[in-house]
Amino acid sequence: MSMTAQQRRVLLSHPAGWIASGFGAGLSPLAPGTVGSAVALLPYLWLRELPLWGYLGVVLAVFVVGVLVSHLLVARLGAEDPGYIVIDEFVGQWLALAFAPAGWIWIVAGFLLFRLFDVWKPWPVSWADRNVGGGLGVMLDDALAGVLAAAVLAGLAWSAARFAA
């Protein structure tokens, strides 16, 4: 969905718009969700150094902030889940990588798995996408896609460790 000049002004005139758009990543004219997921990898490099409880605490805090700013923007812009809101991609990507082993191959695999589940929308992602509205709806389907990606990534990591032994 392309953004009108009025929507762009509304989005960028409020701190919620900057947060929700991933500080501008969501304004990409091509594949803003993928760009948002890629930009989310930058803070992930810091997040992964935290203890698991700290990592998940940050993800939960950003999820809550995402619900709030997305709710505000959905109401102000009149669009239910616009592509320029990518804070949900940040949360989903971070969830996908929450238990990833060290190494770039696992980061790339987690990125690709999250994008797959975010676009494909298997159940329960599709259910959340269709049935939950507002700011929670914006955030929930991507969080669920991230959890599914994390589960598959954990299975791949377990299998790789098992076959390497």
User: Looking at the chain, how many residues does it have?
Assistant: 165
Decide if 16 contacts 72 (C-beta within 8 A).
yes
CA gap 71, 49 in Å, rounded = 31
Assess whether pLDDT exceeds 80 at residue 165: no
Assess whether pLDDT exceeds 70 at residue 1: no
Count of structural domains within the chain: 1
Tokens 């947060």 identify what position? 19
- The string over 45-79, giving b where at least 16 C-beta atoms fall within 10 Å of a residue's C-beta and e elsewhere, is eebeeeeeeebeebbeebbebbbbbbbbbbeebeb
pLDDT at 40: 98
- For the residues of 14-79, what is the DSSP string, one character each? SHHHHHHTTTTGGG-SS-HHHHHHHHHHHHHHHHTTS-HHHHHHHHHHHHHHHHHHHHHHHHHH--
Q: For 107-162, how does the pLDDT look when each residue is reduced to its tens digit (9 = 90+)?
A: 999 999 999 999 999 999 999 999 999 999 999 999 999 999 999 999 999 999 99
CA gap 83, 31 in Å, rounded = 8
Q: For 25-57, how does the pLDDT look when each residue is reduced to its tens digit (9 = 90+)?
A: 999 999 999 999 999 999 999 999 999 999 999
Tell me which residue range forms the domain holding 46: 5-164
CA gap 61, 73 in Å, rounded = 18
pLDDT at 60: 98
Assess whether pLDDT exceeds 70 at residue 3: yes
